[in-house]
A and B are shown apart, each in its own frame.
Chain A
Amino acid sequence: MRRKSGLILLALAVFFAALSPLLRWYAFPRLAKVPADQYTTMVLEAKDATLLDYDSFQAVKVPKVTIVQTLKGNVEASEKIERTAGRDVVVWDGLSYVQGPDGKMVSKIPERYIFDAHTQEPVHATGEMVDGDPVKREGIEFKWPFLTEKRDYEYFDAQARVTAPIHYKGTQNFRGVPVYYFEQTIPWTKVPFPTYMPVKGVTAETVAATGTTRWYTTVRKFWVEPVTGAPVYGEEIHEEELRGGRLLEGREKVTAFSGHVKMREDYIESTVALVKSQRVLVLWMTSYLPWGFLTLGVLLLALALCLEARGRRPADPAPAQTSAPEPVTA
């Protein structure tokens, strides 16, 4: 009976000890993925910003410019691409909608971002675009990979349609969450006019025909929770200028937008809460369960060995017969 128990304990010890690395290095990379049907919104604000008034063509100070960013997972499109790509793919249809202080549209830029659901590496397929322009992204956008490393990453800039390094600048604590801080600077770069202009009848083509060009620079800052790879906070010091051409009537340049864009407070709170809960889920697979199973395996193995050792110990010798003292007779 003791020997049978020992064998069962040994089987369980090997089961749990083997489960530990299998879970961490086989199951986790295959199970951890960005869901294809995710729908997220984000609101960012630039207070006391500078914005181009399209009536006077002068830069004016405004109290607030709001950016509404939506990312919607397109499940049908991802399944279609998966059939040829042979891996789990996520297709995000996004819209960056910029609204002025009067509630009117300043710009809206749609984009389609296709990436590997597990690694977040870009996947190239028909339909990948920014504002209608086909692009071939390199690097990441919006989200870092699971288990983000303390190193620079390549990050795609949708405005300039270029990929540039985003530098790891240290570890910080953001509202109780350990985060990696990343920063990217895009120097002044000539960029295309948005397809959707804020003035009726004016298109990117008509503006470009006047010889006026659009330039842009930004400093992009992200605070990324490294276990999930999800940014918990973001900021952008963003500047846009129109340069030259007939539209400026002799002026060299005019500011189209200048502002320090930050996430709205209620969105920061909800993002932090969401990332905190997701972080625990990932930690269960990468840390809590593997270490727990390994400890359990070692304990069970020790118990099995203990039982085996006790089973093999020779039986105690029978107690020696002690004769009763004989009565002494005088």
Chain B
Amino acid sequence: MRALIAAATGLALAFALVLTITALGSPAGTTSPKPLLTTVPSHP
């Protein structure tokens, strides 16, 4: 019974971690102020 509870705890923690990370996601950022180029850049 104790082994079952330990396994369930491990499983629950794994789910909680993954769900939290995916829910947080990543910030969208902001649109770059750089223009759409109409000149040839000298380097990347």
> A72: which B residues are within 8 A, CB to CB?
31-32, 34, 36
A73 adjacent to B32 (CB under 8 Å)? yes
> B36: which A residues are within 8 A, CB to CB?
70, 72, 93-95, 97, 110
Residues 9-30 of B, flagged 1 when their CB comes within 8 A of A and 0 if not, give 1110111011001100110111
Q: How many residues of A contact B (CB 8 A)?
A: 49
Chain B residue nearest to A10 in the complex (CB): B6
B29 adjacent to A36 (CB under 8 Å)? yes
Chain B residue nearest to A71 in the complex (CB): B36
Given contacts A19-B17, A27-B18, contact A75 B7 (CB under 8 A): no
6 new A-B contacts, CB < 8 A, other than A43-B40, A79-B28, A110-B36, are A18-B14, A30-B22, A36-B29, A43-B44, A73-B32, A97-B37
A152 at the interface (CB under 8 A from B): no
Chain A residue nearest to B23 in the complex (CB): A30
B38 adjacent to A36 (CB under 8 Å)? no
A7 at the interface (CB under 8 A from B): yes
B22 adjacent to A75 (CB under 8 Å)? no
> B13: which A residues are within 8 A, CB to CB?
11, 15
> A19: which B residues are within 8 A, CB to CB?
14, 17-18
A35 and B18 alpha carbons, distance in the complex (Å): 21
29 A-B pairs within 8 Å (CB atoms) are namely A7-B2, A11-B9, A11-B13, A14-B6, A14-B9, A14-B11, A18-B11, A19-B17, A22-B14, A23-B18, A27-B22, A30-B22, A36-B28, A37-B28, A41-B44, A43-B40, A68-B39, A68-B41, A72-B31, A72-B36, A74-B31, A75-B28, A94-B36, A95-B36, A97-B37, A97-B38, A99-B40, A108-B38, A110-B36
